[in-house]
Amino acid sequence: MTPSSSKSGPGVRSLKRVLVVDDSAFSRRALRRMIERSPDLDVIGAAANGEEAMRIVLRDKPDVITLDLEMPVMDGFAFLRWLMAERPTPVVVVSARDDDPSIFKAFDLGAVDFIGKPTARASEKIGAISDDLLEKIYAVAGLDAAKVSRRLEPRPASPRDSGTISFPSDLEVVALGASTGGPPAVQAIVTRLGPAFPAALIVAQHMPAGFTRQFADRLALLARVSVREAVEGEEVRPRAVYVAPGGKNLGIERGRGGLRTRLTGQEKDARYAPSVDHLMRSAAEACGARSAGVVLTGMGNDGSAGLSAIRAAGGVTIAESEATAVIYGMPREAVRAGAAMHVLDLPEIVEQIGRIGETGNR
């Protein structure tokens, strides 16, 4: 366990305080170097296991924690359970594998984002990893971590929207976009779908290759409808969920046989693949008023232009409210652009989408 740094103190401007938790000495040093590139972040300590981390949390009260999951003495899962019960704090998981299914267990326990672990063999990628890590820490540093566990709890009806949203009777596609904080929200929507759901639900979740396959497999185990990671050229069927693969853009096209998936590479100058804008624009073009779009939590503005395209085509558009979005970036930009017809808390979005096709709700 390393002591607090001297970067903070009287006369020093307020910095975001970061705790690094990892059993690998190499990773602790690498993460500290990455984080301390920023003049706005202060690494207040580093712990080799959950027990050491508990003591630092109680003593120094960090604003953000980077967390390894596999550690001796107390692993990351046990630490997350304790943390969210005793002192909820935003957590970015640092994973050694690019397809680790345990990431999703960490999300269930309250973690809000993840990143690949820096290794000696990945030294040539260290700059990109560092930039990504800093962006994620900045995004979650001011977050009320207790909000993560509360966001799926039912809330009083909002005066902005009441009753059931009217979706077209011939609805073909619901395009869903999310980034930071998105996996639990997407899971809640997918697991609410029943056999009466008449459309295809197509998901663009900002997530690297490997993780999207694990995400789709996890959803398939929990859902009552078919779920798979999308592949090129497959038929888009109703009562099915298609997850865009990481590193690719997923769109849909209409041909003689109906709707089919279309996978393409990351667009020039685009920050994300899969791109929410790309998916939603293709849905608007292929399905017009028989499409719907939902923008959930996340950084940046991906989804704003795509949701605008769906609305312009006559489709139904929804953005998650600030009250429940872990990061109110993507939904906020969609609202500012006038793209969202409805702004709803996450539990209401789950119910509105889940009721599509049920008796009297279509």
> pLDDT tens digit string along 210-226?
889 999 999 999 999 99
Structure tokens at 287: 């399905």
pLDDT of residue 39: 93
pLDDT of residue 50: 96
**Is 23 annotated as catalytic?**
no
Q: 202 and 65 in one domain?
A: no
Q: 142 and 189 in one domain?
A: no
- Domain of 222? 173-354
Q: 69 and 141 in one domain?
A: yes
321 CB-side CA count, 13 A: 20
pLDDT of residue 232: 97
Q: 178 and 314 in one domain?
A: yes
Beta strand pairing status for 258-264 and 249-255? antiparallel
pLDDT of residue 46: 97
**Is 226 annotated as catalytic?**
no
In this prediction, the residues of the chain whose per-residue pLDDT falls under 50 are 2-6, 8-13, 124, 159
With respect to residue 158, please indicate whether it lies within any of the assigned structural domains.
Answer: no
Buried b or exposed e, range 27-64, using 16+ CB within 10 angstroms: bbebbbebbeebeebbbbbbbbbbbbbbebbeeeebbb
pLDDT of residue 3: 46
pLDDT of residue 5: 46
Domain count, the chain: 2
Q: 346 and 208 in one domain?
A: yes
pLDDT of residue 351: 95
CA separation for the pair 302, 139 (Å, rounded): 15
201 CB-side CA count, 13 A: 32
CA separation for the pair 237, 180 (Å, rounded): 28
Q: 125 and 221 in one domain?
A: no
Please identify, among 119, 150, 181, the residue that sits at the C-terminal boundary of a domain: 150
Q: Residue 312: give its domain's CATH number.
A: 3.40.50.180
Q: Please choose, from the candidates 228, 232, 160, 233, the residue with its C-alpha nearest in 3D space to the C-alpha of residue 200.
A: 228
Q: 212 and 118 in one domain?
A: no
Q: 145 and 183 in one domain?
A: no
Query: In degrees to the nearest 10, what's the CA dihedral of 130, 135, 140, 142?
Result: 110
Catalytic residue among 100, 206, 291, 321: 206
CA 180 to each of CA 6, 243, 326: distance values in angstroms, whole numbers, following the listed order: 31, 16, 7
CB 265 within 8 A of CB 249: yes
Catalytic residue among 24, 130, 179, 291: 179
pLDDT of residue 101: 80
The length of the chain, given as a count of residues:
362
**Is 100 annotated as catalytic?**
no
Please identify, among 150, 184, 218, the residue that sits at the C-terminal boundary of a domain: 150
Catalytic residue among 63, 113, 277, 302: 302
pLDDT of residue 180: 93
pLDDT of residue 152: 57
With respect to residue 38, please indicate whether it lies within any of the assigned structural domains.
Answer: yes
